[in-house]
Amino acid sequence: MESNYEKEELFSPEKVAALAGHYKAILELLGEDASREGLLKTPERVAKAMSFLTQGYGQDPKEILLSAKFREEYKQMVIVKDIELYSMCEHHMIPFYGKAHVAYIPNGYITGLSKIARVVEAFARRLQVQERLTVQIRDCIQQALNPLGVAVVIEASHMCMQMRGVQKQNCSTTTSAFTGAFLTQMQTREEFIQLIGK
């Protein structure tokens, strides 16, 4: 049966081929027959999937923010909440997933709202730990926009805790990182926590 469907791939063919060779060897080491019908294209599919899930290595989050940096005298809190994130635990290369809530108080400059979500994505699409991810997002926004303060809270579930090891299905992890007014002004931090909780 002939198919007219052709998917456009943006991955390096050389990189995909090299990764696929390794994944074929992994399948065989696990005791599988990499030549059986169901697994024939699996090494290539996994190679492309991992290239997609780690594409953040090829992105510059600070440049993402600077690409839409505008002068604006607004000095109240800007919050982008419930930003979905999917990342890979660097210890087991198993996914963790959840939501990021990001706020900043402009100091003469704002950025496009979608750029905040893109920064989260750029850092999440790498091998990560949630603690570092939280701090990287905070520091990137602070460095690119020099705001009066930045707040980042991430709530995530880790499949390395759910499907292996301790196997606890209903636990989640919350991390936070703050700068400026969110550190020094309790009322500002409380307002942020209240707003992301609604």
Confidence of residue 8 (pLDDT cuts 50, 70, 90): low
22 labelled catalytic: no
What pLDDT score was predicted for residue 169? 78
Q: Is the pLDDT of residue 6 over 80?
A: no
Q: Which one is catalytic: 9, 28, 72, 91?
A: 91
Q: Which one is catalytic: 121, 130, 136, 140?
A: 130
91 labelled catalytic: yes
Find where tokens 């190679």 sit: 47
Residues 102-107 have a mean pLDDT of 98
Residues 89-101 have a mean pLDDT of 96
92 labelled catalytic: yes
Greater confidence, 3 or 196? 196
Q: Which one is catalytic: 9, 90, 131, 190?
A: 90
What pLDDT score was predicted for residue 125? 98
Q: Is the pLDDT of residue 16 over 90?
A: yes
Q: Is the pLDDT of residue 2 over 60?
A: no
Which of 72, 65, 181 lies closest to 113, judged by CA?
65
Q: Which one is catalytic: 55, 160, 185, 191?
A: 160
Domains of the chain: 13-53 (1.10.286.10), 61-197 (3.30.1130.10)
pLDDT in tens, 41-94: 999 999 999 999 999 999 999 999 999 999 999 999 999 999 999 999 999 999
Q: Which one is catalytic: 59, 92, 155, 191?
A: 92
What pLDDT score was predicted for residue 13? 92
Residue 122 tokens, joined: 């750029």
89 labelled catalytic: yes
- CA distances 92 to 1, 87, 89, 95, 128, Å, are 40, 12, 6, 9, 10
155 labelled catalytic: no
pLDDT in tens, 119-176: 999 999 999 999 999 999 999 999 999 999 999 999 999 988 888 888 887 789 999 9
130 labelled catalytic: yes
Contact predicate 78/70, CB 8 Å: no
- CA distances 113 to 29, 37, 58, 125, Å, are 46, 46, 21, 19
